[in-house]
Amino acid sequence: MGLFGTSKAARVSVDGLAQMVGNYFKRLKLDMESQQLDAADGLGWWLTEGSVKVYIFALEDPSGPVVRITAPILHYPDDNRLAFFERLLEINRELSGCCLAVFQEVVLVSAQRSTLGLDQEELNELIWNVSITADRLDDQLASEFGAMPYNEDPNC
Protein backbone atom coordinates (compact mmCIF):
# COMPACT_ATOMS: atom_id res chain seq x y z
CA MET A 1 0.00 0.00 0.00
CA GLY A 2 1.36 3.39 -0.95
CA LEU A 3 0.97 6.80 0.57
CA PHE A 4 -2.68 7.78 1.22
CA GLY A 5 -3.87 4.19 0.83
CA THR A 6 -3.02 3.91 -2.86
CA SER A 7 -1.54 0.70 -4.18
CA LYS A 8 1.81 0.66 -5.92
CA ALA A 9 1.87 0.21 -9.69
CA ALA A 10 3.04 -3.16 -10.96
CA ARG A 11 6.01 -3.49 -13.30
CA VAL A 12 5.31 -5.47 -16.48
CA SER A 13 8.02 -8.05 -17.26
CA VAL A 14 9.62 -8.42 -20.68
CA ASP A 15 7.50 -11.56 -21.21
CA GLY A 16 4.38 -9.69 -20.13
CA LEU A 17 5.24 -6.89 -22.52
CA ALA A 18 5.69 -9.44 -25.31
CA GLN A 19 2.18 -10.69 -24.60
CA MET A 20 0.82 -7.13 -24.81
CA VAL A 21 2.61 -6.59 -28.13
CA GLY A 22 1.05 -9.88 -29.29
CA ASN A 23 -2.39 -8.51 -28.39
CA TYR A 24 -1.67 -5.37 -30.45
CA PHE A 25 -0.60 -7.47 -33.44
CA LYS A 26 -3.69 -9.69 -33.15
CA ARG A 27 -5.92 -6.62 -33.17
CA LEU A 28 -4.28 -5.59 -36.47
CA LYS A 29 -4.44 -9.17 -37.79
CA LEU A 30 -0.63 -9.36 -38.01
CA ASP A 31 1.49 -12.46 -37.40
CA MET A 32 3.76 -11.52 -34.52
CA GLU A 33 6.15 -14.44 -35.02
CA SER A 34 6.89 -13.60 -38.66
CA GLN A 35 7.64 -10.02 -37.64
CA GLN A 36 9.97 -10.81 -34.76
CA LEU A 37 13.47 -9.33 -34.72
CA ASP A 38 16.71 -10.71 -33.36
CA ALA A 39 17.21 -8.14 -30.57
CA ALA A 40 20.47 -8.52 -28.63
CA ASP A 41 19.20 -6.93 -25.41
CA GLY A 42 15.64 -8.24 -25.33
CA LEU A 43 12.78 -8.93 -27.71
CA GLY A 44 11.77 -7.01 -30.82
CA TRP A 45 9.17 -6.84 -33.57
CA TRP A 46 8.39 -4.68 -36.58
CA LEU A 47 5.29 -3.50 -38.38
CA THR A 48 4.56 -1.19 -41.27
CA GLU A 49 2.49 1.97 -41.10
CA GLY A 50 2.07 3.63 -44.47
CA SER A 51 5.57 4.12 -45.84
CA VAL A 52 7.50 3.56 -42.59
CA LYS A 53 8.69 0.55 -40.66
CA VAL A 54 8.12 0.76 -36.91
CA TYR A 55 10.25 -1.23 -34.47
CA ILE A 56 9.04 -2.29 -31.03
CA PHE A 57 11.56 -3.48 -28.44
CA ALA A 58 11.05 -5.00 -25.00
CA LEU A 59 14.38 -4.40 -23.26
CA GLU A 60 15.95 -5.21 -19.92
CA ASP A 61 17.40 -2.14 -18.26
CA PRO A 62 19.27 -1.91 -14.93
CA SER A 63 16.26 -0.04 -13.51
CA GLY A 64 13.77 -2.60 -14.90
CA PRO A 65 12.12 -3.50 -18.22
CA VAL A 66 11.42 -0.75 -20.77
CA VAL A 67 9.51 -0.56 -24.02
CA ARG A 68 11.06 1.36 -26.92
CA ILE A 69 9.16 2.13 -30.11
CA THR A 70 11.16 3.70 -32.91
CA ALA A 71 10.66 4.47 -36.58
CA PRO A 72 13.53 5.68 -38.79
CA ILE A 73 12.07 8.18 -41.23
CA LEU A 74 14.78 9.89 -43.27
CA HIS A 75 18.46 10.65 -43.72
CA TYR A 76 19.95 14.07 -43.12
CA PRO A 77 19.68 16.31 -46.19
CA ASP A 78 22.86 17.25 -48.05
CA ASP A 79 22.08 20.98 -47.84
CA ASN A 80 20.37 23.39 -45.42
CA ARG A 81 21.21 21.33 -42.35
CA LEU A 82 20.86 24.24 -39.92
CA ALA A 83 17.34 24.98 -41.19
CA PHE A 84 16.61 21.22 -41.13
CA PHE A 85 17.62 20.83 -37.47
CA GLU A 86 15.74 23.98 -36.50
CA ARG A 87 12.65 22.52 -38.15
CA LEU A 88 13.12 19.23 -36.27
CA LEU A 89 13.26 21.15 -32.99
CA GLU A 90 10.12 23.12 -33.91
CA ILE A 91 8.26 19.91 -34.70
CA ASN A 92 9.59 18.23 -31.57
CA ARG A 93 8.15 21.03 -29.43
CA GLU A 94 4.66 20.21 -30.72
CA LEU A 95 4.82 16.41 -30.36
CA SER A 96 3.12 14.60 -27.52
CA GLY A 97 3.87 11.02 -26.49
CA CYS A 98 6.85 10.71 -28.82
CA CYS A 99 9.88 12.68 -29.94
CA LEU A 100 12.24 13.20 -32.82
CA ALA A 101 15.73 11.83 -32.31
CA VAL A 102 18.80 11.26 -34.46
CA PHE A 103 21.16 8.32 -34.77
CA GLN A 104 23.93 7.85 -37.34
CA GLU A 105 22.57 10.66 -39.55
CA VAL A 106 19.05 9.21 -39.56
CA VAL A 107 16.02 10.97 -38.06
CA LEU A 108 13.81 8.76 -35.88
CA VAL A 109 10.41 9.12 -34.31
CA SER A 110 10.72 7.45 -30.93
CA ALA A 111 9.03 6.76 -27.61
CA GLN A 112 10.41 4.92 -24.60
CA ARG A 113 9.14 4.30 -21.09
CA SER A 114 9.48 2.00 -18.15
CA THR A 115 6.95 -0.81 -17.95
CA LEU A 116 6.00 0.31 -14.44
CA GLY A 117 2.22 0.68 -14.53
CA LEU A 118 2.05 0.09 -18.31
CA ASP A 119 -1.29 -1.26 -19.49
CA GLN A 120 -2.52 -2.46 -22.88
CA GLU A 121 -4.24 0.78 -23.81
CA GLU A 122 -1.13 2.84 -23.13
CA LEU A 123 1.08 0.48 -25.14
CA ASN A 124 -1.42 0.62 -28.03
CA GLU A 125 -1.36 4.41 -27.91
CA LEU A 126 2.46 4.57 -27.82
CA ILE A 127 2.78 2.32 -30.88
CA TRP A 128 0.01 4.11 -32.77
CA ASN A 129 1.37 7.56 -31.94
CA VAL A 130 4.91 6.76 -33.14
CA SER A 131 3.53 5.03 -36.24
CA ILE A 132 1.17 7.80 -37.33
CA THR A 133 3.65 10.57 -36.54
CA ALA A 134 6.44 8.84 -38.48
CA ASP A 135 4.21 8.21 -41.49
CA ARG A 136 3.11 11.86 -41.53
CA LEU A 137 6.58 13.38 -41.09
CA ASP A 138 8.67 11.24 -43.45
CA ASP A 139 7.10 12.57 -46.65
CA GLN A 140 6.67 16.08 -45.28
CA LEU A 141 10.34 16.51 -44.27
CA ALA A 142 11.69 14.70 -47.34
CA SER A 143 9.76 17.08 -49.57
CA GLU A 144 10.61 20.18 -47.55
CA PHE A 145 14.38 19.52 -47.39
CA GLY A 146 15.13 17.13 -50.24
CA ALA A 147 16.19 14.44 -47.78
CA MET A 148 16.16 10.75 -48.71
CA PRO A 149 13.40 8.82 -46.93
CA TYR A 150 14.83 5.95 -44.92
CA ASN A 151 12.63 3.39 -46.68
CA GLU A 152 14.09 4.39 -50.09
CA ASP A 153 17.71 3.76 -49.06
CA PRO A 154 18.82 0.46 -50.64
CA ASN A 155 21.44 0.02 -47.87
CA CYS A 156 18.88 -0.03 -45.04
Q: Tell me the pLDDT tens digit for each residue of 107-149.
A: 999 999 999 999 999 999 999 999 999 999 999 999 999 999 9
- φ/ψ of residue 96, rounded to 5: -135, 130
pLDDT at residue 60 greater than cutoff 90: no
Q: Is 143 exposed, middle or buried (0-12, 13-18, 19+ CB in 10 A)?
A: exposed
pLDDT band at 1 (very low <50, low <70, confident <90, very high): very low
| CB contact set of 14 (below 8 Å; sequence gap of 6+) | 42, 43, 58, 59, 60, 65
CB 67 within 8 A of CB 126: yes
Local structure of 38: helix, strand or coil: coil
Q: What is the pLDDT of residue 68?
A: 96
Predicted TM-score of the model (pTM) = 0.89
Three-class secondary structure of residue 75 per DSSP: strand
The stretch 86-113 carries a mean pLDDT of 97
